[in-house]
Amino acid sequence: MSCLISSAWAEKATRLRSVVSDVVPVDVHQSFPLSPEFLHPSGADCLVSSFCLESVSHDLLSFNHALDNISSLLKKGGYLLLIGALGESFYMGAPGLYIPVVPLDESQVCASLKASGYELLQLCIYHLPPDMKVGVDDVTGVFFAKAKKT
């Protein structure tokens, strides 16, 4: 069985290497977070942000600005899949190293998307059961938002 798993992962790695042409820096706190040379002038069809914006923002205002900034990369009518933590104020990067996170709730996520010019198409919330809280953070749940830029 381990040979099958190893082989499947090797095939996925090979496919990924064949389609990923570059890894480029993105600074969500800049008004245009990606150099124009890496993006078609009309913008991207879809963006995915997973546990990023709340982790690199100092507060809700900074989170909202970061959301506005990544929106500049998306063309009108494009889709955003935003995945993030709810109620999390920190995560442990290493023993004794606590990294601050903006603690979001469901209403803040919805309001932030609306304020940044999105129509919320779907919002799924997963509340962590007590046995999944292992002490590396204080997250209470995870959100999955699918939104369309208006």
51 in any annotated domain: yes
Q: Indicate which CATH number applies to the domain containing 96.
A: 3.40.50.150
Residue 126, domain extent: 42-149
User: Residue-wise over 56-87: b if at least 16 C-beta within 10 A, else e?
Assistant: bbeeeebbbbbbebbbebbeeebbbebbbbbb
pTM, whole model, 2 decimals?
0.84
11 in any annotated domain: no
Per the structure, the count of domains in the chain is 1
12 in any annotated domain: no
83 in any annotated domain: yes
Encode the chain (150 residues) as per-residue pLDDT tens digits.
455 567 888 898 899 889 888 888 899 999 999 988 888 889 999 999 999 999 999 999 999 999 999 999 999 999 999 999 999 999 998 999 999 999 999 999 999 999 999 999 999 999 999 888 888 999 999 999 999 999
Distance CA 23, CA 21 (A): 7
